[in-house]
Amino acid sequence: MNPSHEPEPVYLYGPPPDAAPALPEPVAEPRARSRRSWRRAVVVTAAIIAAMAVAGGLLGLLWAWVAPDVPVINTGASVVVNDPSPEEYIAADGWFTLLSFAFGLVAALVAWLVLRRDRGPAVLLGVTLGGLASSVAMWQVGRLVGLSAWNSWQDSSQPGDTFQRPPDLHAHGALLVAAFAAVIVTTLLAGWSNDPELDQPGAKPGYGRDYPPVGPSPDGFPPVGEPAPGAPPAGSASESPDSSGSTAGR
């Protein structure tokens, strides 16, 4: 028997009997995933190929300017290189390889930054085929510089005449360098990207964990960082049987 003859306090851990039932919390609609149109992908791929091919043609003029000419001589039987150790003969291939590699790196980086909403297979295919197209354009445009003069000299030269042959590509494997560099850069950028779908720039590190939750998790627990339903907000004092306002035992 309580000495004070006062009724024992009753602690309620739920809503009062006459309280209205709590309404279920609205569930946020899942974010619609972006769907790329195949027509847009084709257009983007074609645009990248065309742009890189045009740039490759301009790069061919630079290659013809920086690559040294090859000294040749007409022996009467044929035209041969007029140097016992012709460095110029392979210098053209070296300059072509260096310029192609640098162009592939820059082209892939520009495509990645400019076409932010089209990152993915379209960009990768575009820089791959565009690298091949740019190399062919670079080779054909570069070798045309001085080609008519070279052909005219071959037809009119006499034995003992010398000429500076314009640069030409001999190691045709260099045509793959630009595409190789572009594919490597694009793949590395995609692997280091923190965008879950590559077309959502600005996502924080964590592959989308900083996006707002789209609903309860499959196991029934609230999303990480969300309070459980009915739990008091953080920082508020919760009621407990041992709170200082209790009069039990008096």
The residue behind tokens 């257009």 is: 43
- Per residue in 170-182, pLDDT (tens digit) is 888 999 999 999 9
- Kindly report the CA angle at 173 between 171 and 179, in degrees rounded to 5? 140
In a domain, 217, yes or no: no
In a domain, 155, yes or no: yes
In a domain, 237, yes or no: no
In a domain, 180, yes or no: yes
In a domain, 37, yes or no: no
Residue 128, token pair as written in the block = 């791959």
Q: Which residue range(s) make up the domain with 178?
A: 44-68+79-192
Maximum pairwise Cα distance, the chain: 134
CA distance 210 to 212: 6
In a domain, 227, yes or no: no
In a domain, 119, yes or no: yes
- Per residue in 180-208, pLDDT (tens digit) is 999 999 999 888 876 656 655 555 444 44
In a domain, 117, yes or no: yes
Work out how many domains the chain is built from and give that number.
1
SS3 65: helix
- Per residue in 216-250, pLDDT (tens digit) is 554 454 554 455 555 555 555 444 445 444 444 44
